Amino acid sequence: EEEWKLPPHPKIPKGKKVTIIILDGWGENIPDRFNAIAVAETPAMDHLKTTAPERWRLLKAHGPAVGLPTEDDMGNSEVGHNALGAGRIFKQGAALVDTAIETGLIYEGEGFKYLKEAQPNGTLHLLGLLSDGGVHSRYNQLQALLKGCADQGFKKIRVHVLTDGRDVREGSSLDYVTTLEHDLEELRKRGVDAQIASGGGRMAVTMDRYENDWGVVKRGWDAQVLGEAPHQFKSCLEALKTLKENDPKLNDQYYPPFVIVDDEGKPVGPIVDGDALITFNFRADRMVMAAKAFEFEDFDKFDRVRVPKIKYVGMLEYDAEIKLPKHYLVAPPHIGETSGEYLVHNGVRTFACSETVKFGHVTFVWNGNRSGQFSETLEEYVEIPSDQGISFNVKPEMKAIAIAEKACEALHSGKWDQVRVNLPNGDMVGHTGDLDATIVGCTVVDKAIQLMLEATEKVGGIFLITADHGNAEDMVKRNSKTGEPVKDKKGKYQILTAHTCAPVPIAIGGPGLLKGAQFRTDLPTAGLANVAATFINLLGFEAPKDYEPSLIEVVE
């Protein structure tokens, strides 16, 4: 208990309510017409930037600053919220898998040995996001695994692909499948029977999250395990082309499920007893539900019809708390001693809220990928149900106002010291690539911010507003040197659905903030990991010694 106690901050008093607002997918970029945030009416955020420059700054939210391998890696919600909540930088899944593959250790661990129990007769299945977004998975890792698994003696390999178009360019799934077909051809030349067995778009098939819609996982199960889907094709390329010809508005994210069949019309690779399976996503949130379907004996979310007895491993352990899956290839980062854990040990009462699609980000991921509360009495987490079964450009308002209202209630109730929310619109609507809808989404976010700023004002509190990574501030692909938007061969602007490498704003203020408290100027390269020490200070405590330094100083 003693080692959890934080000393009082020498200047900042305890007892002020602190509102923490995380804007999902809200970066800083040149204000042209493809910057949805700049185009949107955002008086609250503009006011903060222009009226208190010593309490507004930018933070790094991508690359090594959030534990990703290189400066070219855009940020994402998982690594962003990990850094925000944990106050330190951890090497993340993407980097850990890279190392395990480079060193070959991935083939020496318990996970791979377990997988090999399916030899000599079992088929090896690989299921995951086919993309090099580096957010959930990366193609070069799949490529290395395919080769490595053949080297390790698997004679029959089937790949179940989920097309992306969300972390990478819409339409690019054709390129990834073409590359994959080449790589499988190489394996066939070596005598390995290697084929794509099924497919579907990531938002329609398998990769739901936070139990928003189990139907998504069921569609995947039916295609991958049972070999049943509304569409059958002779090849994956044919599937992608035909489905888009038949429905030109279809995008990579939403391909319906399909199975690949042989000349007799039989599926080439349903998952059956005795097989082995790797889910090759390293990121957990959108693979946990499928992992449960593959692994849980008691499972009642949908009728699995046939449950194959297989050797199943995850690329990573997706949930260390419940040990899911039991077998995995690479151990996840251990993110302990997070801010939430410190705060409950110091009696700070926390209320956290978002809507379903980001709820886990501001709770589970914030707490170092840990389920539940640290304290049932000192913490309350509220989830507002997200709209289901729609693409968020249809309802870009999402639940931002409802989230803000919950936060305001929590502030006024007097029951909480820290009130923390995630406003999803910039990210979730930004991922649809719909610029007009994203502008609406950002406008609503600003209104929600205004509500929470007013409530913070009324209770004499302090606010801290920041974001987890960029998205809505750039909706077009740009020339990396000039920053000019690029057009495709047909002269159309290339829509950017993905996150960005942009820095994100952070602003502090409110009547409870000590007069001389402002951002230090000696931390020019600070990133999201510096935020935890900052809000711990605002709550009146010194931050743990091993945390990245606080962003604030108090001048006389």
Write the binding mask 409 to 428 for ligand 3PG: x where contact by CB under 6 A, - elsewhere. Answer: ------------------x-
Which tokens is 543 given? 């931050």
Q: How far is the CB of 501 from Co ion (least distance, A)?
A: 14
Separation CA 498–CA 482 (nearest Å)? 19
Reduced DSSP (H G I as helix, E B as strand, rest coil) percent helix, strand, coil of the chain, to 5: 35, 20, 45
Write the binding mask 65 to 84 for ligand 3PG: x where contact by CB under 6 A, - elsewhere. Answer: -----------xxx------
Q: Which amino acid is at 110?
A: E
Write the binding mask 283 to 322 for ligand 3PG: x where contact by CB under 6 A, - elsewhere. Answer: ---x------------------------------------
Chain position whose Cβ is nearest to ligand 3PG: 77
Q: How far is the CB of 357 from Co ion (least distance, A)?
A: 10
Report 88-147 residues binding ligand 3PG (CB under 6 A). Answer: 135-136
Q: For ligand 3PG, give the closer residue by CB, 160 or 166.
A: 166
Task: Tell which residue, 17, 3, 146, has the closest CA to residue 463.
Answer: 17
317 binds, among Co ion, ligand 3PG, none (CB under 5 to 8 A by kind): none
Cis status, amide bond into 325, omega within 30 of 0: yes
Length of the chain counted residue by residue: 556
Catalytic residue among 77, 173, 198, 386: 77
Q: How far is the CB of 39 from Co ion (least distance, A)?
A: 20
Q: How far is the CB of 499 from Co ion (least distance, A)?
A: 6
Report 431-490 residues binding ligand 3PG (CB under 6 A). Answer: 431
Among 252, 341, 427, 446, binds Co ion (CB under 5 A): 427
Q: Is the dihedral of CA 65, 67, 71, 74 positive or negative?
A: negative
397 binds Co ion (CB under 5 A): no
Q: For Co ion, give the closer residue by CB, 427 or 473.
A: 427
Write the binding mask 149 to 168 for ligand 3PG: x where contact by CB under 6 A, - elsewhere. Answer: -----------------xx-
Cβ atoms < 10 Å from Cβ of 117: 11
Q: Which residues contact 323 (CB under 8 A, 6 or more apart)?
A: 317
The region of 329-337, 424-432, 438-446, 484-492 touching Co ion under the rule CB under 5 A is: 424-432
77 noted as active-site residue: yes
Q: Which residues contact 125 (CB under 8 A, 6 or more apart)?
A: 157, 158, 159, 160, 197, 224, 269, 271, 275, 276, 277, 278
The alpha-carbon radius of gyration of the chain (Å, integer) is 24
Separation CA 355–CA 229 (nearest Å)? 31
Q: For ligand 3PG, give the closer residue by CB, 287 or 329.
A: 287
Q: Is the dihedral of CA 91, 96, 98, 100 positive or negative?
A: positive
Give, as one character, the DSSP assignment of residue 377: T
The region of 251-259, 263-271, 288-296, 427-435 touching Co ion under the rule CB under 5 A is: 427-435
Binding site for ligand 3PG (CB under 6 A): 24-25, 76-78, 135-136, 166-167, 286, 427, 431
Catalytic residues: 77
